[in-house]
Amino acid sequence: MENKHIKWSGNLQEEAVTLLKSGGKTIVCPTKVGYIIATMDRVGLERKFSAKNRKRNKPGVVLVGSLEQLDELAEMTPEIKKIYEKCWEEDVLLGCILPWKASGKQYIPADGSSELMSDTRGTSCFVIKFGVPGEQIAAKLWTDQQSLLFASSANPSGKGNRGVVAGIGEQIEHEVDLIIDGDDYVKSIQPDKTVDTRYEQGVMISFVDAHGQLVPEQGNQRSVEPAPVLIRKGLDLERIMFHLSEGYHSWNYRHGEYY
């Protein structure tokens, strides 16, 4: 494609869906907090890591287009489901570290993708409500052929995400196959924020212990360990902390613990 840049139309970007389905492709897509690189398979994941010069020890990000898809893929307790449901209802960006259901693993491409989109514990970060442009693509891929969309922030590893397509850097721009420009959409989510005060990422919560097993349900018990850990602050932090406090008597705030 000679000109990789297209402007987000406000609707499903069919070009991106067609391109991803063709295999081994990567796109840049706007989200609520900036831009991501997204792909569907092992070749695309390899290209993503290459473009970002990124270490491979972090949990893979799975972009989820519906709560039904989430339930099909990830192990969750009723307490975890409730937090996802609340965030879905309120259009709140949320990513949680969870184990895969044994039955959910059938949807991971059988091309070696699993080692690049999960960590050594076999967990991934399942993200909802990350932004309309990507949500539309993820939902379409799942509806059409039960395909998954894997992602990572579209900025060189260790460098900030300025929320503009010009900030993705030359290497990423050169590597990817298609770039959906949506600076206006990104700006609309945090209209009163500057480059210095805006959130560059979404909140991430770990619902697993050191071995990748789900933390226990708490019910009305207090001082339960292991407990959920908020490992990354970000957009809608206050709403998510409220829902965590409503659902759990015990949880930890450890920004940056995983990273």
- pLDDT score, position 3: 84
Task: Give me the mean pLDDT over the 177-205 stretch.
Answer: 95
Q: Which residues of 27-54 are buried (b: 16+ CB within 10 A; e: fewer)?
A: bbbbbbbbbbbbbbbbbbbbbbeebbeb
- pLDDT score, position 114: 85
Query: For the segment 136-166, what is each residue's pLDDT rounded down to a tens digit?
Result: 999 999 999 999 999 988 887 666 677 899 9
With tokens 């349900």, the residue in question is 217
Residue 73 has pLDDT above 50, yes or no: yes
Query: For the segment 218-259, what is each residue's pLDDT rounded down to a tens digit?
Result: 999 999 999 999 999 999 999 999 999 999 999 999 998 875
Residue 199 has pLDDT above 80, yes or no: yes
- pLDDT score, position 31: 98
Stated pTM of the model: 0.95
Provide the mean pLDDT of the chain.
Answer: 92
Domains and CATH numbers, the chain: 5-198 (3.90.870.10)
3-state secondary structure at position 69: helix
- pLDDT score, position 1: 45
- What percent of the chain stands above pLDDT 70? 93
Judge contact between 145 and 137, C-beta under 8 A. Answer: no
Q: How confident is the model at residue 56 (pLDDT cuts 50, 70, 90)?
A: low
Strand partners, 204: 95, 232
